[in-house]
């Protein structure tokens, strides 16, 4: 969203005509956070570990929604694949790097390549 806003800033040579903008957003992978239970009468200690992930996912989701609404699918694409549920990788888990590389190399990139071909070339 910041990159999109920058295109409209006159201090940076903007505004760029909306039809000339193509925006590709690359994520590092999404870890789905699930808070199980029906009634969660938790205190700070129970919520604290979950809040960071929930808040950062929310910010990312809002920026994705805003860019998608402003530009549309032809001009905007986000690629942020979801990690499998059994691989909830912490951000500081260096032992997971070999698996993450293997997982990333197996991701299907054809839909992203098709969008790049249509939007940029």
Work out the pLDDT band at 90, boundaries 50, 70, 90. confident
Q: What is the pLDDT of residues 12-70, one digit of tens each?
A: 888 999 999 999 999 888 777 666 677 667 777 777 777 777 777 777 889 999 999 99
CB 67 within 8 A of CB 4: yes
Residue ranges of E strands in 38-75: none
**Pick from 12, 80, 61: which is nearest to 4 by CA?**
12
56 located within any domain = yes
Q: Tell if the pTM clears 0.85, that is, is over it.
A: no
Cα–Cα dist 30/81, whole Å: 6
- For residue 30, the cross-strand partners are 82
When divided into structural domains, the chain yields a total of 1
6 located within any domain = no
The pair of structure tokens assigned to 12 is 């940076």
Domain that holds residue 89: 21-29+42-120
């Amino acid at each position: 969203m910041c990159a999109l806003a920058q295109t409209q800033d006159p201090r940076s040579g903007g505004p760029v005509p909306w039809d000339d903008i193509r925006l590709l957003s690359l994520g590092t992978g999404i870890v789905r956070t699930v808070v199980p239970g029906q009634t969660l009468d938790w205190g700070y200690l129970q919520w604290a570990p979950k809040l960071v992930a929930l808040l950062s996912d929310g910010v990312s989701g809002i920026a994705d929604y805003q860019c998608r609404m402003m530009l549309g699918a032809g001009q905007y694409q986000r690629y942020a694949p979801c990690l499998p549920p059994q691989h909830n990788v912490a951000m500081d888990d260096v032992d997971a790097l070999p698996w993450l590389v293997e997982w990333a190399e197996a991701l299907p990139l054809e839909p992203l390549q098709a969008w790049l071909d249509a939007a940029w070339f």
